[in-house]
Amino acid sequence: MIRVGHGFDVHQLVAGRPCIIGGVNIPYEKGLDGHSDADVLLHAICDALLGAAAHGDIGKHFPNTDERYRGIDSRQLLRHVVNLLKHKRYSIVNIDATVIAEAPKMAAHIAQMCANIAQDCNLMPDAVNVKATTTEKLGFTGRGEGIAAEAVCLIQCFHL
């Protein structure tokens, strides 16, 4: 049996925070605000994986009222989600994601993002794809107020 999952996340761009996306610290004048490291891409991927497994969402597993998650590296959250799926006997087939941002430019960092995600999900490199798009200066992403990410995944059950 295969199952599909979808995730979506948004974080505000503010001064004085690092801009960490897909586990890559991207040099930029602003960074993403949040309770954790605010890695919008990894959060969307966590939600896609949890959705595929009918296992709720990231806020349910890692509440932003819990001090254990303040400033946490979202790669730790992703690895935790991957383990949850493993315990439910699911393996990940592939992940496809899009970062929606006017700036900074993602292109030079996409390969490292894919490598980080593949490593954390125990996947071969060709099972992960990350894309980036602007919104042609329209909306909150176009005005540079925030960055959004969407992700889809397929998982398969390895029940005997």
Ligand X SMILES: C[C@@]1(CO)OP(=O)(O)OP(=O)(O)OC[C@H]1O
CB-CB neighbours of 95 under 10 Å = 25
Give DSSP secondary structure letters for 132-159. Answer: EE--TT-HHHHTTSEEEEEEEEEEEE--
**Residue span binding ligand X (CB under 6 A) among the ranges 32-40, 81-89, 93-101, 115-123:** 32-40
Report the residue from 52, 58, 101, 152 that binds ligand X according to the rule CB under 6 A: 58
Q: Does residue 56 interact with ligand X by CB under 6 A?
A: no
**Cα–Cα distances in Å, from 3 out to 26, 41, 127, 155?**
33, 21, 16, 5
Residue facing ligand X at closest CB distance: 34
Contacts of 62 (CB under 8 A, 6+ apart): 36, 69, 72, 77, 80
Residue 64 or 122 having the CB closest to ligand X: 64
Least separation in angstroms between CB 156 and ligand L45E5XJ5: 30
Q: Which does 59 bind (CB under 5 to 8 A by kind): ligand L45E5XJ5, ligand X, none?
A: ligand X
- Cβ neighbours of residue 139 under 8 Å, at least 6 residues apart? none
As measured in angstroms, the least distance from the Cβ of 63 to ligand X is 5
> Least CB distance from residue 137 to ligand L45E5XJ5, whole Å?
10
64-103 binders of ligand X (CB under 6 A): 64, 69, 72
Residues 6 or more apart whose CB falls under 8 angstroms from that of 12 comprise: 32, 33, 145, 146
Interface contacts to ligand X, rule CB under 6 A? 9, 34-36, 38, 43, 58-59, 62-64, 69, 72
